[in-house]
Chain A
Amino acid sequence: MSERIEFRFSGSGGQGLILAGIILADAAAIYENKNAVQTQSYGPEARGGSSKSEVIISDDPIEYPKATKVNYMVSLTQEAFNKYINDVKDDGIVIVDKELVTDFSKAKGKLYVLDMVKSAREELGKLLGLNIISLGVLVEISGIVSHDSIEKALLKRVPKGFEDYNKKALEIGFRLAKEVKK
């Protein structure tokens, strides 16, 4: 891999999407020795508002740090889906949740609609960890880093006592992705 691959997590402030981007960049940069840059964009409010977290991964040095031709996008709100879908490449991949994004009139690229919220509710008991489920989905679908690398990067960044919870969330993501990839 030498080409530049662009990832974008989008949703609303507070969903943990910036953290998801950091973990992905960490896995690529530190555990797989690639070049990776993570950036974010959000509004002045602490919660709510559309936010995005972007990761560029490449074997070559990365100059422009923001995504402009998105290869993979995750959207966890309808608003973010509508707002950020334009930059997705024609052959890009878009991952959304079945309950959170329902209007696909602006859709672009190849769409994966997954039961991430439903699985979180049923298997984790709450929606906390939805960001990590979506990270698992993204890693499984893109194959950009290994399961081992993403898990190491994840465990480094989650609070003590929540390691198993987050690992479980990541694995839910892997499984949901495998199901749709079939």
Chain B
Amino acid sequence: MFSEFLQYLFTGITIGATYALIALGFTLIYNANHVINFAQGEFLMIGGMATVSLTAMGVPMLLAIVLAVVLAGLMGIALQRLAIAPAKDANVVTLIIITIGASIFIRGLAQLVWGKKYHVMPNFSGDEPIEVFGAVLNSQSLWVLGVGAVLVAVLVYFFTRTMTGKAILATSMNKDAARLVGIRTQMVLMLAFMVSALLGSIAGIVVAPITFTSYDIGIILGLKGFVAAAIGGLGSGVGAVVGGLALGVVEAMAAGYLSSDYKDAVAFSMILLVLFFMPRGLFGAKVVERV
């Protein structure tokens, strides 16, 4: 009984940590630019797929990971420079469609390079599962949680202790004022997309041994990240982490105790329920609309 519950909890927290990282990526770009980046999931796909194919070509694992992350980072910069920046006067829906166009484009490229097959990535540290109170814990789950925790710590440090991080925060609060005090806001926007892409690709790499990976895995992962970010409240870092973990755990419990067919329906009902009572998510900033 308890071991069953624990089992679902492990699954939920693992996938939830991934959602949290994707949601953080959404949050970063949303804060910098007020854009919801529907291509966010593609960064995960690029991370996982590039690592798998590079290791298959004989590149050592660690180097392959670094190269995959760099590739994703460059794509993030390209996305901001080539697709978002030129459309600066576009409204919200138009920007959404542009990022959707970008995600179809990236997916199309991935399909050209890597084909449509599912690819398997081996666990980082062996297939020996760990037993905890009768529940089985995949060793890769520990990697996901560990890497997730480290990334969150790095982000906190970056935003509270470094000049660059503070510049991003300042730009998100008031772009014009930030420019007045000498922050190069275009540079900051580019940086936000890059960091977001780095986050996404790292999440994609650590989770790939659990979920497998293919050219179209980014769609549903990206959407779940968006759900997590909205549950937490768009723009809130704490919200993204809490939203991600909550979504993962609720989903795993629903799959375990109710029906795995309806686990996604539970996730989407959860976001509706949260928004009915808290229209700006759990931790969303209360803003006054200026007329």
**Are A and B interaction partners?**
no
